[in-house]
Amino acid sequence: MERENIIQQKSYDFAIRIVKAYKYIVENKSEYVLSKQLVRSGTSIGANIEEAIGGQSTKDFYAKMSISYKEARECRFWIRLLTDSDYLTKDQGNSLIQDLEEVQK
């Protein structure tokens, strides 16, 4: 039985929220460029964490976790930009950033 990995689960849950935010922006705001950047960076966080967990060495693990952290920073930028340009409400943006900060911790 595999042990529960909190960061693995939180990053996966965050990726689901990002996909749903992307769908909302595309369907309700007809925005396709910035939202694509959001979904790319937001889902990449968890993908890199998964790769880190399966890393071949400690060095490989840290390299993938570092990439994941950088993707989280980028994702934060896109959330802020989409919020400040009114594609996401302040509440939506703040909620996403709050979840992202949980993943980053």
End-to-end Cα separation, the chain, in angstroms: 26
Count of CB atoms situated within 10 Å of the CB of 34: 14
Please give the pLDDT value at position 26.
Answer: 97
What are the sequence ranges of the domains in the chain?
6-104
The series of mean pLDDT values per 10 residues for the chain, 105 residues long, is 82 98 97 97 97 95 97 98 98 98 93
Contacts of 18 (CB under 8 A, 6+ apart): 38, 39, 42, 43, 75, 96
> CA triplet 40, 45, 51: central angle to 5 degrees?
115
Alpha-carbon distance 88 to 103, whole Å? 20
**6-104 maps to CATH 1.20.1440.60:** yes
Written as one letter, the residue type at 12 is Y
Please give the pLDDT value at position 3.
Answer: 66
